[in-house]
Amino acid sequence: MNKAEVKPLSSAYRLLNPGSVVLVSVGDGTRDNLFPVTWNTPVRQDPPMVAIVSGKRHFSYPLIVERGEFGLNVLQASLVDAVLGCGSTSGRDVEDKFARFGLTREKAGIIRPPLVEEAVASLECRVCQVVDLGSSAILVAQVVRALASTEHFREGQWRFDSGLELLHHLSGSRFCVTVSEITGRKPG
């Protein structure tokens, strides 16, 4: 997929604004892994920061906190089965989720974990704070680089004029899709 760097990076939060489910990519070049995260959000525009909630028992969790880096990969609806696959299996049992679920590694520009080539956008993130919630944690991270499809993310905005279908998680195996935008009218 043709992608370009998102600049200024302070507009990278818009990649996550629709609340899409993301595939988090982790690893250090020798062992990597993927898991979907519904609970993700931008938290700061400049410097750009995001937060995800991760269960501490996930195979991926120590890979994130030890290395301090992860990728957030925004996917289109066509990859729903890969999302469910990555979220229904553990890296403890599946050595290579990329191969198992038909995804391609893309070398990141700054962080060590690979990105997902099929993703419509990817954010490269460095952990700056871990908020312990017991069995899970909020990982707050700075976005150090972002890439997005030149076809679907133009002039700092998602564009739905050429078939973009952003994927959102409802619960279990249920998802919904964003395919268009509307413009609201401000009062006065």
Ligand X SMILES: Cc1cc2nc3c(=O)[nH]c(=O)nc-3n(C[C@H](O)[C@H](O)[C@H](O)COP(=O)(O)O)c2cc1C
Cβ 5 to ligand X shortest distance, Å: 26
Cβ 188 to ligand X shortest distance, Å: 39
Cβ 41 to ligand X shortest distance, Å: 10
- Would you say 4 or 170 has its CB closer to ligand X? 170
- Would you say 13 or 35 has its CB closer to ligand X? 35
- Would you say 140 or 157 has its CB closer to ligand X? 140
- What string of H, E and C letters represents the secondary structure of the chain? CCEEECCCHHHHHHHCCCCCCEEEEEECCCCEEEEEECCEEEEECCCCEEEEEEECCCCHHHHHHHHCEEEEEECEHHHHHHHHHHHHCCCCCCCCHHHHCCCCEECCCCCCCCEECCCCEEEEEEEEEEEECCCEEEEEEEEEEEEEECCCEECCEECCCCCCCEEEEEECCEEEEECCCCCCCCCC
- Would you say 58 or 145 has its CB closer to ligand X? 58
Q: Which residue is nearest to ligand X (CB)?
A: 87
Binding residues for ligand X, per CB under 6 A? 21, 33, 35-39, 53-55, 58-60, 83-84, 87-91, 136, 169
